[in-house]
Structure 1
């Protein structure tokens, strides 16, 4: 059994000037030689998918990952999975709410997480609304072959069973 994990980070998709988009075929060519004959694969993208959290940036990212994932699935003949975790660039900051968010985050630093209600959490995570919409749309087109054990804006836990190899991935939201 061979599991291949492709880790990508800090791609920073922008509305324009995305060198990685034109390099996708070359990326696939490099990867395909490493994954030939694999039993399964994971694409894990950790942080800064977008440059500034805009829907337009996520639309470009969606098409990029959709095409890469499709190519890998067709080449390997296995389902594979794709996972994402946000970074600070995945936030779309609104200056109106930034002061309130800053006060909440300062309170958490001083008092700990026990003071964090769902309402306050919602305000803190609101800059990631476009990211979460991106994740929901990606899940419609690309599979997660693991079991979602825990799904929360601050942490998702996915368990995989690859032919007896148990793998648990904790996706911490550091944004």
Structure 2
């Protein structure tokens, strides 16, 4: 497994070793011991989530607060997405900054999003199946979110805004400056 740090502390691009032959491929998508050796992060995942979405669907930017904060390891099983991690840790040197990466079933890249980050993704292919591991259980009362087009963050979603498909809930999320504190 190759692990590349992003400009945001604690956030990593993870590329598993993929073994191809005439039958297809095999890969180990996650190994807790190797992940800790390469990142210094001790994480134990307790919940897996999966979604399937059409082109132009934007989900996010979401996070969990307090004791229910979640670290995530995200990947795409089918299709292609633009994945975004936004640092919302108030004491971080990169507070309010984001990192984006294209994740696809072709490149097999994954993104580790640590606690204290908001997360979202936009489907670039006709459809995409998105999968992620969480190190904490979901808690509805601890939900938080930030508006995907907050002008102070200025995320480049690489897609025309009029063609986005966004849930009613995500359309009314607050700006970062008005969002729910993470701790």
TM over 0.5: no
Which structure has the larger Rg over C-alpha atoms?
A: 1
Q: Normalising by structure 1, report the TM-score.
A: 0.31
**Greater relative contact order (Cα < 8 A, sep 6+):** 2
From the two aligned structures, give the one with the greater strand fraction.
Answer: 2
Of Structure 1 and Structure 2, the greater helix share is in 1
